């Protein structure tokens, strides 16, 4: 008997007009596992995440979360599934109309109907967890630096103790040291919760730190998958080119050619 | 994929098809938003907050518009009326013109300029910074959280604003009429009250409610569906205001024809 995977995608395709972004994604993430998807810009990484979350609906294929097919759910069932998820967005996506603590507590208050005092306490606790002092809670997101916004975003993603957490380019736009701090926090928070995570990134340092397994996406397909240690000797030219960051290899960027 | 630019028929066809598609998308958005009003939760606090932003903050601009328009109207009608020795029609024509047409239309346009643009800019920014997606991942329906409060607030607030605009507009006419044109104050008010009918007031408020719906719908629709960064948000803002203006004027014509069309 095999253990049911937390996320399972089979033959998922998605096109925007004539542009085929996903061309048949097959992917499996086991419970408690941390899968990092690497790939260049514009290869369909974000679209894939949005399909799982139901923010976009795929043209074909099946997506199962914990055994439930999520591509054709009613609004109510989708909400139930979404309560298992947390997500850290690329630009943190904090609500700038709300103070920091209300951002962190948002899912607890609006999603779960918790009373404010209790939610505030949890929010402060989560802020501390990501290394921010309680007084940050009363600031507005616009007053924070990029690294602090990322931390608040992380605190918001873990506040409702989700079973699955998505990280969309968690280190983009941060300096190398702050990137490492965020990576460490991600690893710690995920261990605390025992959550399943799916991350997308093009930062190899980040991938090496937070991944159990790594998969590479290219032209809308998963072209390689393996353990973290196998990345360096995958025997796959595409993966090699990507992790070495070389302009020369099978992957040709869509540049303007004379 | 670009069709040849030289063929005028192709251009006309493309514009026509695009506008049909846009009308379809808009209707779908409107239908979805109305369906969400019936599907809790309704965020009353956010609706109250929006009522404050739409209503109270629009009072100065709407009030001044009505005051100046009412005053100018009284002056013009006096000049026109005096050619037939009919200066006494000033209060009656002013009140009818203000309550039936100018109060709701000018009030609606002023609020559309202020509010549709602000809504489109706010929701558009939330869209391009992924805040709307973030709402969904936090188990909160963005239509319920963002669009429904704005629609409810605008539909409730606009009639109140237009009521105030009507009163101030009549007041503007009264001030010019009594201070400058030498009309008798008591007679002015008496004629105003005699001319005004219940149907005028009701149609005025119905128009205002419809305009409120249009204002919030256009602001929300263009903001919610904006894409492409700062430029996209700018475009959404412009489109929200322009489409709100056109739809308000069109809706006004339709309501006027329905309510007053068979009176001779």
Summarised one tens digit per residue, pLDDT across range A191-218 is: 888 888 999 988 888 888 888 889 888 8
Please state, in angstroms and as integers, the Cα–Cα distance from residue B85 to each residue in B77, B81, B183, B186, B189, following that order.
12, 6, 13, 20, 20
Q: What are the sequence ranges of the domains in chain A?
A: 1-84+163-183+194-258, 93-161
Chain B contact for A75, CB < 8 A?
yes
- In angstroms, the separation between the Cα of residue A239 and the nearest Cα of chain B is 30
Instruction: Count contacts between A and B (CB, < 8 Å).
Output: 52
Record: contact A95-B134, CB cut-off 8 A: yes
For chain B, list residues whose CB is within 8 angstroms of any CB belonging to chain A.
1, 126, 129-131, 133-134, 136-141, 145
C-alpha separations of B146 from A56, A171, B92 in Å: 19, 29, 43
* Portion 92-111 of A in contact with B at CB < 8 A: 93-96, 106-107, 110-111
**Distance, CA of B264 to CA of B260 (rounded, Å):** 9
Whole-angstrom distance, CA of residue B213 vs CA of residue A188: 49
Please name the residues in contact with B178: beta carbons below 8 A apart, sequence gap of 6 or more. B184, B185, B188
Predicted pLDDT at A246: 77
Question: CA-to-CA distance for A141 and A99, rounded, in angstroms?
Answer: 7
Chain A residues closer than 8 Å to B140 by CB = 106-107, 110-111
Contact A54 B137 (CB under 8 A): no
What pLDDT, on the 0 to 100 scale, is given for residue B230? Answer: 87
Q: Which residues of A touch B139 (CB under 8 A)?
A: 79, 82-83, 107, 110-112
Tell me the torsion sign for CA atoms B122, B127, B131, B132: positive
Distance from the B246 Cα atom to the nearest Cα atom in chain A, whole angstroms:
30
A57 close contact with B: CB closer than 8 A: no
Q: What is the pLDDT of residue A77?
A: 82
Percent of chain A residues past pLDDT 90, beyond the cut = 9
Nearest-neighbour CA in chain A from B214: distance (Å): 24
Please choose, from the candidates A108, A110, A128, the residue with its C-alpha nearest in 3D space to the C-alpha of residue A119.
A108
- The dotted CATH code for A1-84+163-183+194-258 is 3.40.50.300
Residues in chain A within 8 Å Cβ distance of B129: 91, 93
- List CB contacts (< 8 A) between B150 and chain A: none
Answer whether A50 touches B (CB < 8 Å).
yes
What is the pLDDT, as a whole number, of residue B140?
87
Residues B137, A53: C-beta atoms closer than 8 Å:
yes
Contact state of B130 with A53 under an 8 Å Cβ cutoff: no
Nearest CA in chain A to B129: A93
Model confidence at A253: pLDDT above 80 = no
Rounded to two decimals, the pTM is 0.86
Preferred mutation among B40, B134, B140, B144 to probe A, highest tally of A CBs within 10 A: B134
Alpha-carbon distance values, B181 to B72, B81, B84, B87, B91 (Å): 12, 12, 16, 9, 12
* Closest by Cα among B221, B244, B217, B207 to B109: B244
pLDDT at A18: 84
Q: Which residues of chain B have pLDDT under 50?
A: 1, 3
pLDDT, position A2: 58
Chain A residue numbers with beta carbons less than 8 Å from the beta carbon of B145 are: 110
pLDDT mean over A45-66: 87
* Mean pLDDT of all residues in A75-89: 84
User: B138, A107: Cβ pair inside 8 Å?
Assistant: yes
CA angle B1, B5, B7 (to 5 degrees): 115
Q: Which residue of A has its CA nearest to B41?
A: A110
Does residue A257 surpass a pLDDT of 50?
A: no
Domain ranges of chain B: 9-260
Q: Which residue of B has its CA nearest to A77?
A: B139
């Amino acid at each position: 008997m095999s253990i049911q995977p937390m996320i399972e995608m089979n033959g998922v395709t998605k096109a925007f007009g004539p542009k085929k972004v996903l061309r048949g994604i097959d992917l499996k993430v086991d419970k408690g596992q941390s899968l990092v998807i690497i790939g260049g810009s514009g290869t369909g990484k974000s679209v894939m995440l949005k399909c799982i979350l139901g923010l976009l609906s795929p043209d074909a294929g099946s997506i199962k979360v914990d055994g439930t097919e999520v591509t054709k759910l009613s609004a109510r069932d989708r909400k139930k599934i979404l309560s298992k998820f947390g997500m850290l967005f690329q630009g943190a996506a904090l609500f700038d109309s709300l103070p920091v603590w209300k951002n962190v507590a948002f899912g607890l208050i609006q999603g779960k109907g918790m009373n404010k005092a209790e939610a505030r306490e949890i929010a402060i606790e989560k802020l501390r967890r990501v290394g921010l002092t309680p007084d940050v809670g009363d600031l507005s997101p616009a007053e924070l630096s990029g690294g602090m916004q990322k931390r608040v975003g992380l605190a918001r993603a873990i506040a409702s103790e989700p079973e699955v957490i998505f990280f969309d380019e968690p280190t983009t736009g941060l300096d190398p040291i702050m990137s490492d701090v965020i990576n460490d926090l991600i690893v710690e928070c995920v261990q605390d919760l025992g959550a399943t995570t799916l991350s997308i990134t093009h930062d190899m340092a980040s991938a090496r730190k937070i991944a159990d397994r790594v998969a590479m996406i290219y032209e809308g397909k998963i072209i390689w998958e393996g353990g973290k240690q196998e990345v360096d000797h995958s025997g796959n030219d595409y993966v090699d080119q990507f992790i070495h960051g070389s302009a020369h290899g099978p992957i040709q960027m869509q540049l303007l050619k004379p | 994929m670009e069709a040849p630019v030289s063929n005028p028929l192709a251009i006309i066809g493309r514009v026509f098809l695009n506008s049909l598609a846009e009308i379809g998308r808009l209707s779908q958005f409107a239908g979805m938003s109305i369906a969400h009003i019936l599907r809790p939760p309704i965020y009353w606090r956010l609706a109250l907050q929006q009522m404050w932003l739409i209503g109270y903050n629009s009072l100065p601009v709407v009030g001044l518009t009505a005051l100046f328009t009412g005053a100018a109207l009284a002056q013009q009608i006096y000049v026109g009326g005096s050619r037939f020795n009919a200066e006494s029609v000033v209060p009656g024509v002013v009140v009818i013109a203000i309550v039936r047409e100018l109060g709701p239309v000018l009030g609606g346009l002023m609020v559309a300029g202020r509010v549709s643009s602000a809504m489109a800019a706010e929701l558009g920014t939330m869209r391009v910074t992924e805040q709307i997606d973030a709402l969904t991942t936090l188990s909160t329906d963005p239509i319920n959280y963002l669009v429904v409060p704005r629609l409810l607030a605008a539909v409730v607030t606009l009639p109140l604003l237009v009521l105030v605009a009507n009163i101030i507009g009549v007041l503007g006419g009264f001030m010019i009429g009594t201070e400058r044109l030498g009309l008798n104050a008591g007679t002015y008010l008496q004629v105003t009250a005699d001319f005004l009918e219940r149907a005028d007031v009701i149609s005025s408020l119905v128009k205002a409610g419809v305009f409120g719906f249009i204002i919030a719908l256009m602001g929300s629709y263009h903001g919610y569906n904006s894409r492409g960064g700062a430029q996209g948000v700018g475009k959404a803002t412009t489109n929200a205001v322009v489409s709100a203006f056109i739809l308000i004027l069109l809706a006004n014509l339709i309501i006027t024809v329905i309510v007053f069309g068979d009176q001779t």
